[in-house]
Each structure stands twice: as structure tokens, then as C-alpha cells.
Amino acid sequence: MMAVGAVLGCTPQSGQPAAAPSPFASTQPATSPSTIRARLETPMRLGNRSGFFSRPLMFLTADNARQLGRLVEDQRDVVGRVYNGETDADYAVLVSAAAGTVRDEEATLDQVFRLFPRVRSIRAVDPGPLGGVARCGSGRDDQ
């Protein structure tokens, strides 16, 4: 069991320190991998960014979460949220995730980034306490 997530704009803006990552998923103890239960939660704040509502970005985030849900077996949960920066000039961060079983982590992560062709500069990052594999990249739209 693992959570698959995509974060667009996950590098800090130049000149600003990176904020410590917020927990994205929590697990409850289980006796076997097939019985692990995950509950995906999006925090109110992501580093120095607050959650905010933008209808076009929320539609995009929800669509991203649905696409991610198709990449996992026995989907258990999907979430999405949009975060803004401290000023209007800061870029937005979109967080989308799906929880379910992933048999081939590397291949699934490759599929995730194929869903987002505008995301560039993809690099491996620490997956955190849940383990698995993680990558991060940046993407821009026309705005």
C-alpha cells in the first residue's frame, strides 16, 4: 500500500528557504500490507502557503486526483488542494493524491509524470517515513 501524489511547484522560490514538508498521509498499524489503511489529508498550510479556493485550479486539482486514482489498484482515497504563496506574485502549489495498492512504484511514478508533460526538471527526493519512491518537478501554465 502506498500513496501516490503529485505536487506541482514543489521547489522553493529563489531566495526563500524550503519549508519542512507537512505530513501528507497517515497510516494505522496493520498485520499485512494488504490490510494497511491510509487516510489522505491535506494540511491547512503547506510550508508558508495557505490553502485557498480558485475554481479553475480546483477543477485541475480534482482532475489530477482522478487520473492518479486510475493508477492504483483498489483505490481507497483521493484528495486535492490548492495553496497560494505569501503574495499574489508567488506561484500556486497544487497537491493531488490517491491511495491504493501500487505494484511497481518506479513504473507508476513514470506514468504519473507522463500525465503532466509541462512538469520539467524532475529529480528524486526523499519519500519520507512511508517509504517508496518520490520525485519532484516544476511546471508552469500560461499564467
pTM over 0.85: no
- Per the model's pLDDT, the better-predicted residue between 86 and 113 turns out to be 113
Ranges of beta strands (E only) in the chain are: 2-8, 25-28, 37-40, 45-46, 49-51, 73-84, 93-101, 120-124, 135-138
pLDDT tens-digit readout, 121-133 = 999 999 999 788 9
Residue pLDDT, tens place only, 102-121: 889 999 999 988 988 888 89
Distance of CA 85 to the CA centre of its chain: 17
pLDDT, the chain, mean: 76
